[in-house]
Amino acid sequence: MKYLFLLAHPDDEAVAAGGTIRLLADRGEEVKVVLATTGKEGAPHSRGKAGQDNQGLNGIRHSGMNIRLDEFKKSCGILGVS
């Protein structure tokens, strides 16, 4: 059988559905996980005064690959989903 998990944020694959995803993957089922968002914070004005510098997740400025998406990919590997 084929299964599709449509999740809102990175980490939902582990927190909300990890056990089910792993069980299905271990059974040899075809499992796809799709994210609706990248998990990035909103615009600076959504967290405080307009014009404030938005440094990202937990105040850490990142460059290159988004940390949350990288963690999502690693998590999917652990859960048996490519």
**pLDDT for position 64:** 43
In this predicted structure, what is the pLDDT of residue 48?
Answer: 53
Nearest CA among 1, 79, 70 for reference residue 33: 79
Residue 17 has a pLDDT of 96
Q: Which of 50, 53, 3 is nearest to 25 (CA)?
A: 3
Rounded to two decimals, what is the model's pTM?
Answer: 0.70
pLDDT recorded at residue 63: 47
Give 10-residue mean pLDDT values along the chain (82 residues): 95 96 98 89 55 51 68 96 88
